[in-house]
Amino acid sequence: MHRCYESWVSTNLGRPMEFLWFGWSGYPVVMFPTSQGRFFQYEDMGVVARLAEKVDAGFLQLVCVDSVDAESWYNTSVDPALRGRRHEQYDAYLRHELLPYIGRRAGHDTVGTFGCSFGAYHAANFAARHPDVVSKAVCFSGIYDVHRFVDGYWDDIDYFNSPASFIPHMDAAWTTRLARIAWVIATGEYDSLVEDNRTFAGVLDAKGIPNHTEIWPGVFGHDWPFWNDAVVRLL
């Protein structure tokens, strides 16, 4: 499999941001790691290997990005107001630095987003904020509301980075744009976050946004064996 490590100092974040690129042709997918995870997580946990056939055949290119979760939503050492602001800088890095690079290199106008657990939050949030550049969002066992990370604080930055909060209030024009995204929401029925996923699917349904939602019966679902089994079918 074609594999390439890359890094540059982000102007929006003021620090190096690393990523791995797998593949040579096909639809590019931005792969967000789980909470506070690193860019090599999906390789280490076997997700990349499970997608190797699609990658080698030129159907998919995987862009496994780094996170700044430990500096944003999970950074309990700073004022809650600063957590959302740091995430907003991360969003700017993705949209204005990484996505133009992916577009030039992959030769595609849009990307997919993918994530498990807190990575699903990133996949959903980035897709909902930027439907001009995202055409598919695959979210496994996710969180979609950031209220739990801000200790009672709330401002416009937090609101517009909490898809379960802002999507219900989108106007018809914006909702139409989100309806063009192929949404996939999936987890097991015994996942501790199953209601978060049902609720988010319900948010999409209520706005008339088509989505493919799977609640896998009889299983926990919030772990790598379940995600690895589902990714080949749903991505």
CA torsion through residues 101, 47, 143, 86, sign? negative
> How far, in Å, CA of 10 to CA of 18, rounded?
10
CATH number at residue 191: 3.40.50.1820
The domain in which residue 214 lies consists of 3-234
Of the candidates 113, 33, 125, the one whose C-alpha atom is nearest the C-alpha of residue 88 is: 125
Write the pLDDT tens digit of every residue in 13-46: 999 999 999 999 999 999 999 999 999 999 999 9
- How many domains, the chain? 1
Write the pLDDT tens digit of every residue in 187-202: 999 999 999 999 999 9
Write the pLDDT tens digit of every residue in 154-180: 999 999 999 999 999 999 999 999 999
Determine what percent of the chain is predicted with pLDDT higher than 70: 100
Residue 121 is predicted with a pLDDT of 98
For every residue of the chain, DSSP letters joined together read --EEEEEEEETTTTEEEEEEEE-SSSEEEEEE-STT--TTHHHHTTHHHHTHHHHHTTSEEEEEE---GGGTTT-TTS-HHHHHHHHHHHHHHIIIIIHHHHHHHH--S-EEEEEETHHHHHHHHHHHH-TTTEEEEEEES-----GGGTTT---HHHHTT-HHHHGGG--HHHHHHHHTSEEEEEEETT-TTHHHHHHHHHHHHHTT--EEEEEETTS---SHHHHHHHHHHH-
To the question of pTM greater than 0.75 for the whole model, the response is yes
